[in-house]
Structure 1
């Protein structure tokens, strides 16, 4: 049967998510596990969001609104765009996959930084695209090199800002220069801003400004991170009307379930909660920096809700942390060996992590 499989799919390495808490408990016989591997919001969602989700369960015997009518309009109002410039999907990954289907044919080129979100590589490979991987420079996107890598065959360029797994940002002046250098080229720039709400650097650019200025920009955001809806899978994007129209033509009919729509609609009203989580993560991140500096472990300052830490052996760090009930993310699958990515958790979770890290210092430095 393997002879029937599309040749483009051979050799694709699957996305490796963070280990689920229940799985770790079963495998290692642990009663308590702290998961800091998937960049989730560790704080419970507001009661209003939870209640909206519960109410939606009474409609679970019905198909959801295929157009996500109310959610699309709420997103449009919040961001100051037209409803026909909004796309929603079963997580940002789904939207990325669908954009690939819309734009990429076998042999077309897709440009992105490495290390960055692994889904760009997987989705491009599935479509038979040529992957143009531009190495990061000092853990940051090298936009000048990315612009130079663009050819007449380039269809999509992904800019992950803040970048996953490094947490670094592309500054406003760098992005201005990048767009000036690619203006007029027949391609689409996808600004992946999954961690947008966490960034506090005054030089961090809002992708919507570039969407409004240019006609070839898509901005992706998500409810999975700061809004705390990772388990419901819902992402959204802002795109030119003609792209939204094509996207809606080929996407799954019922791409966002009824509970996700209800919870996301309620979450959009929780500005105070979003600000609180963002500040809480920022404060806890500073504590992690201080502790890592005292331990002599190199790290990358992050504008997201995670920290990248350099270690001697990432696989060993992952396994030894796991034995101590802490799940972190080795970044080998991002083509970044000898590093682990650690989500900023609650104060209590971070203390457990730092205690385990201190025990392992002789193995990590």
Structure 2
């Protein structure tokens, strides 16, 4: 008899999340040299982590025989100080993805539902399915979250609403005014999750922490994977009112953040100069890519993040052709966008090489 006769039934139709293709895989499959490949698929920081974070992690390696601080005290203390909150407002996860899982453990059961935008981060839907919950996908005209429609879609079974801002994979932004109107309509039985992985790339980010300070049922997610350049350490954090965070802490495994990751995240958090430098090259690179797409006559979605979504015809074909040239992009068929690819912003030489190869592939 098959093991599926005993396994949780919702797992059978669950399709695993497929991340951007690693450089090592491409080198091995296509016979290319790793150093000749550039990865512009996963919205990573092309500058790498802060030099101060590297030094801190090297020091932390000397004590890996000791269990890490299970409460991530110093990191949570620094985050609380940065946002003028209390440590009780902060939970740290193995990437913000783990905190999405904490929220699922805390609030979802079979028969519940979550609400997302149609073209939102796939992990929201995957996590809902893991807990036997349904997902209500709301149309997003112009690839922007329609918060009015999302609020109107709430049912008595709705437990979570995810608002990615800026959104991945579209790079679009919802305004403070739209968020305020939306929050006026959300009933108290719904936890609103503002996923702000790209928050640091904004010049004037909306203030969602005010809802935390008001004690609303809100979790604000942020990460060290993007502007901090620490994607490999997997550190994210959630901000919420102390009672809500206390519920989430009860779902967290002990020692979920290793000591090396904690050291790197803390040092990186305190290195504002590195973050400012990353934002500057991102702004320059985004303007360059979007200007090139306009000159090539390609439709694209104006972005507020460190990537741009661009329409290229057959997204999978372009993805494969570019990969053969040593440039890894992200095909978007899994996001119901088969004609599009998402291109992460790199250094300027990387951006220029990407555009030159894309022109050759598209015959522009």
Q: TM-score range by the shorter chain?
A: over 0.9
Deviation at residue 13 of structure 1 after TM alignment: 1.3
Q: How far apart in 2 are the matches of 1:215 and 1:301? A: 31
Partner-residue secondary structure (3-state), 2:85 = coil
List 4+ stretches of structure 1 deviating above 6 A. none
The answer for the alignment partner of 2:236 in structure 1 is 235
- Of 97, 115, 119, 1:115 maps to 119
Partner-residue secondary structure (3-state), 2:216 = coil
Deviation at residue 214 of structure 1 after TM alignment: 4.7
The answer for the alignment partner of 2:202 in structure 1 is 199
Q: Are the counterparts in 1 of residues 61 and 260 from structure 2 also a CA contact under 8 Å? A: yes
Deviation at residue 44 of structure 1 after TM alignment: 2.6
The answer for the alignment partner of 1:266 in structure 2 is 267
Q: Are the counterparts in 2 of residues 295 and 361 from structure 1 also a CA contact under 8 Å? A: no
Matched, 1:146 2:150: yes
Matched, 1:221 2:240: no
Q: How far apart in 2 are the matches of 1:181 and 1:98? A: 25
Q: How far apart in 2 are the matches of 1:213 and 1:301? A: 33
Partner-residue secondary structure (3-state), 1:123 = helix
Q: Are the counterparts in 1 of residues 213 and 241 from structure 2 also a CA contact under 8 Å? A: no
Q: Are the counterparts in 2 of residues 198 and 305 from structure 1 also a CA contact under 8 Å? A: yes
The answer for the alignment partner of 2:168 in structure 1 is 164
- How many equivalent pairs are there? 360
Q: How far apart in 2 are the matches of 1:269 and 1:336? A: 38
The answer for the alignment partner of 1:323 in structure 2 is 324
Q: How far apart in 1 are the matches of 2:336 and 2:81? A: 39
- Of 97, 100, 107, 2:104 maps to 100
Report 1:335-350 matches (<5 A).
Answer: 335-350=336-351
The answer for the alignment partner of 1:306 in structure 2 is 307
Q: How far apart in 2 are the matches of 1:47 and 1:318? A: 32
Partner-residue secondary structure (3-state), 2:143 = coil
Matched, 1:250 2:251: yes
The answer for the alignment partner of 1:75 in structure 2 is 79
Q: How far apart in 2 are the matches of 1:233 and 1:293? A: 35
Gap regions ≥5 residues in structure 1: none
Q: How far apart in 1 are the matches of 2:245 and 2:217? A: 12
The answer for the alignment partner of 1:175 in structure 2 is 179
Q: Are the counterparts in 2 of residues 118 and 334 from structure 1 also a CA contact under 8 Å? A: yes
Range 309-318 or range 208-217, more displaced: 208-217
Q: How far apart in 2 are the matches of 1:119 and 1:289? A: 27
Q: How far apart in 2 are the matches of 1:47 and 1:97? A: 31
Q: TM-score, normalised by structure 1?
A: 0.96
Deviation at residue 247 of structure 1 after TM alignment: 1.6
Q: How far apart in 2 are the matches of 1:38 and 1:218? A: 24
Matched, 1:43 2:35: no
- Of 15, 18, 26, 1:16 maps to 18
Q: Are the counterparts in 1 of residues 50 and 228 from structure 2 also a CA contact under 8 Å? A: no
Q: How far apart in 2 are the matches of 1:227 and 1:150? A: 35
Deviation at residue 302 of structure 1 after TM alignment: 0.5
Q: How far apart in 2 are the matches of 1:244 and 1:213? A: 14
Range 1-10 or range 110-119, more displaced: 1-10
Q: Are the counterparts in 2 of residues 299 and 310 from structure 1 also a CA contact under 8 Å? A: yes
Deviation at residue 315 of structure 1 after TM alignment: 0.7
Deviation at residue 70 of structure 1 after TM alignment: 0.8
Q: How far apart in 1 are the matches of 2:271 and 2:6? A: 49
Q: TM-score, normalised by structure 2?
A: 0.97
Partner-residue secondary structure (3-state), 1:30 = coil
Q: What do residues 270-306 of structure 1 show as CA deviations (whole Å, max 9, x unaligned)?
A: 1121112112100111011111111111111100000
Q: Are the counterparts in 2 of residues 45 and 227 from structure 1 also a CA contact under 8 Å? A: yes
Q: How far apart in 1 are the matches of 2:320 and 2:229? A: 27
Q: Are the counterparts in 2 of residues 95 and 236 from structure 1 also a CA contact under 8 Å? A: yes
Gap regions ≥5 residues in structure 2: none
- Of 52, 55, 69, 2:56 maps to 52
The answer for the alignment partner of 1:130 in structure 2 is 134
Range 237-246 or range 142-151, more displaced: 237-246
Q: What do residues 318-350 of structure 1 show as CA deviations (whole Å, max 9, x unaligned)?
A: 110111100000111122221100000011111
